[in-house]
Amino acid sequence: MFKLVCMTTACVLMLLHHVLKNSYHAPIANKDEACSLLVLVLMAVINLTKATLMSFGTSIVGPTNQSYLEALEWFEVGALVFVPLFVCILVVFAVFSQLVRLIVSLTKLISRYVRWRSITLRLTEL
């Protein structure tokens, strides 16, 4: 539990430092980094909550408290699985988009070359 307290404190301090200093020149980079650090803080707090309950040897009594802990666990799963999966899908679409642009550009270039070649052949035949 002591390690989780230190980790949570360090995450909160890094988030506060980043929000106060805005270390990047681009505002969108600052916002992205702040969101990333906020997710890390939330995950640290979730794990600290579970560790505190285990450390003190208490169990969650009642359906309301159990549902809160399950919701926190689902948030953690979402942050660890679905967000990176979404980013990977966006990267795949970006690469695919660039490949399509390359193919379109090459077909335009080839068609221009073929037209230019046919025009120069007609001019040489005259």
1-59 residue pLDDT tens: 888 899 999 999 999 999 999 888 999 999 989 988 998 999 899 888 888 877 877 77
As for how many domains the chain has, the answer is 1
pLDDT for 83-122, tens place per residue? 889 989 999 999 999 999 999 999 999 999 988 888 887 7
- For residue 64, pLDDT over 70 is answered with no
Is residue 75 assigned to a domain? no
| Domain coverage including residue 27 | 1-59
- For residue 124, pLDDT over 70 is answered with yes
Whole-number Å distance between alpha carbons of 7 and 12: 9
CA 124 to chain centre: 59
Whole-number Å distance between alpha carbons of 63 and 45: 21
Is residue 54 assigned to a domain? yes
What does the pLDDT read at residue 77?
A: 87
Is residue 102 assigned to a domain? no
Identify the band that residue 126 occupies on the pLDDT scale cut at 50, 70 and 90: low
- For residue 61, pLDDT over 80 is answered with no
Is residue 80 assigned to a domain? no
Which amino acid makes up residue 124? Answer: T
Overall pTM > 0.95: no
In terms of Cβ atoms closer than 10 Å to its own Cβ (0-12, 13-18, 19+), residue 8 is buried
